[in-house]
């Protein structure tokens, strides 16, 4: 699988100046070689739910981890009471190196970036075809974040009982992104199982999108209720504004090797942290055309060599148009 991630292991607070400076630490840290491996399923105000072997264990972060936050999808080392019994609390002493990170900022001017999900392979960008109306700008932003973070995008268009997907699919055709079109009444049948086989098996997939698009409906259809119960974790489906998902939650797929991660609805997807020059990496067919570009070309400026190269017939103009649209999405406000 192609990966575009840059230093995925860096902390989500790296853009903040360190108030204490880089004073070397003098205390010798315990090594915790005996720590057990676990995976973070959800985080709720400092309470971190982990899967350790087949037990759901509640834990908190050890002080020695400092400000580094454990997020859903993290592989962690735990010590203490790992029985998973009521009223026990383990300690997370280590967060393993991440192979991908999905980050976002609240908006583009906000330097505080948070890691939404760690170690996902795939980003399912969920968009309702109606109610709420699709917002291509938000989709574009999610795609940029996926390319930047090393996740392969999958477009999931929901509520096809309410509107046709044709227009949206036309917009994304040139990007060559895999897509699925779903509707709630079909999910109950064998359709969900087919989805799992085709797109989700063997992967960790994070579902993101605006509130009310049907992320939880989808995830719940993919993970049967009895299986959700065993993890003790349930995300309810939005009904009239209630039950909106409030924290990301990882659930294991049934009869498959993968995980699905439900996340709270987002209004915006700030890209302050993204280096626009990396977006070209998601367009390998255009990369050879950048040889004639000026140094540090943004590929969205008058001197960019791509225009002439594409005009010579080396690549599909629709691909360049799509690249430019993604590059421009960072400059534009989301309502545009």
- Given Zn ion, ligand GTP, Mg ion, none, residue 119, with its beta carbon under 5 to 8 Å by kind, binds none
* Shortest spacing between CB 245 and Mg ion, in angstroms: 3
Contacts of 259 (CB under 8 A, 6+ apart): 73, 203, 204, 205, 250, 251, 252, 253
Site string for Mg ion, 206-225 (x = CB under 5 A): ---------xx---------
**33 dihedral zone (left: phi>0; alpha: psi -120 to 50; beta):** alpha
Counted residue by residue, the chain has a size of: 336
Contacts of 138 (CB under 8 A, 6+ apart): 127, 209, 210, 266, 268, 269, 334
Check: CB of residue 322 under 8 Å from CB of residue 329: no
- Given Mg ion, ligand GTP, Zn ion, none, residue 293, with its beta carbon under 5 to 8 Å by kind, binds Zn ion
Check: CB of residue 265 under 8 Å from CB of residue 319: no
Q: Is the dihedral of CA 187, 255, 249, 75 positive or negative?
A: negative
245 is an interface residue for Mg ion by CB under 5 A: yes
Distance between CA atoms of residues 91 and 59, nearest Å: 5
- Given Mg ion, Zn ion, ligand GTP, none, residue 304, with its beta carbon under 5 to 8 Å by kind, binds Zn ion
Is the Cβ of residue 171 or residue 247 nearer to Mg ion in the bound state? 247
- Given Mg ion, ligand GTP, Zn ion, none, residue 322, with its beta carbon under 5 to 8 Å by kind, binds none
Q: Which stretch binds ligand GTP (CB under 6 A): 72-80, 149-157, 211-219, 306-314?
A: 211-219
* β 122-128/152-158 pair status: parallel
Q: Is the dihedral of CA 180, 197, 102, 6 positive or negative?
A: negative
42 is an interface residue for ligand GTP by CB under 6 A: no
Distance between CA atoms of residues 159 and 165, nearest Å: 9
- Given Mg ion, Zn ion, ligand GTP, none, residue 212, with its beta carbon under 5 to 8 Å by kind, binds ligand GTP
* Shortest spacing between CB 178 and ligand GTP, in angstroms: 19
- Given Mg ion, Zn ion, ligand GTP, none, residue 205, with its beta carbon under 5 to 8 Å by kind, binds none
Token pair of 260 as six digits: 């699905």
Residue ranges in contact with Zn ion by CB under 5 A = 293, 297, 299, 304
What residues between 246 and 275 interact with ligand GTP by CB under 6 A? 264-265
Is the Cβ of residue 126 or residue 326 nearer to ligand GTP in the bound state? 126
Q: Which residues bind Mg ion (CB under 5 A)?
A: 215-216, 245
Q: Which residues bind ligand GTP (CB under 6 A)?
A: 158-159, 161-162, 183-184, 209, 211-217, 237-239, 244-245, 264-265
């Amino acid at each position: 699988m192609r990966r575009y991630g840059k230093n995925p292991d860096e902390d989500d607070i790296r853009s903040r100046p360190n108030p204490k400076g880089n004073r070397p630490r003098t205390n010798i840290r315990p090594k915790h070689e005996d720590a057990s491996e676990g995976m973070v399923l959800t985080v709720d105000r400092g309470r971190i739910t982990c899967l350790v072997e087949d037990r759901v264990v509640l834990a908190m972060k050890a002080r020695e981890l400092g400000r580094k936050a454990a997020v859903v999808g993290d592989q962690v080392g735990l010590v203490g009471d790992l029985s998973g019994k009521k009223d026990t609390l383990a300690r997370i002493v280590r967060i393993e190196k991440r192979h991908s990170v999905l980050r976002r900022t609240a908006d583009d001017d906000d330097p505080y970036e948070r890691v939404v999900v760690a170690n996902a392979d795939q980003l399912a960008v969920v968009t309702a075809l109606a109610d709420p109306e699709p917002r291509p700008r938000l989709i574009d932003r999610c795609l940029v974040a996926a390319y930047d973070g090393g996740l392969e995008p999958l477009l999931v268009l929901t509520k096809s009982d309410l509107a046709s997907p044709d227009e949206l699919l036309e917009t994304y055709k040139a990007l060559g992104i895999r897509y699925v079109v779903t509707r709630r009444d079909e999910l109950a049948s064998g359709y969900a199982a087919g989805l799992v086989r085709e797109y989700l098996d063997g992967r960790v997939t994070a579902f993101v999108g605006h509130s009310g698009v049907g992320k939880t409906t989808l995830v719940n259809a993919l993970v049967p209720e009895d299986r959700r119960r065993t993890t003790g974790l349930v995300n309810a489906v939005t009904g009239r504004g209630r039950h909106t998902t409030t924290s990301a939650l990882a659930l294991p797929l049934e009869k498959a090797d993968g995980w699905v991660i439900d996340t709270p609805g987002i209004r915006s997807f700030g890209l302050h942290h993204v280096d626009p020059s990396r977006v070209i990496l998601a367009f390998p067919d255009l990369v050879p055309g950048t040889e004639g570009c000026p140094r540090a070309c943004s590929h969205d400026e008058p001197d960019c060599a791509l225009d002439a190269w594409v005009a010579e017939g080396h690549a599909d103009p629709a691909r360049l148009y799509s690249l430019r649209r993604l590059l421009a999405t960072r400059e534009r406000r989301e309502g545009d």
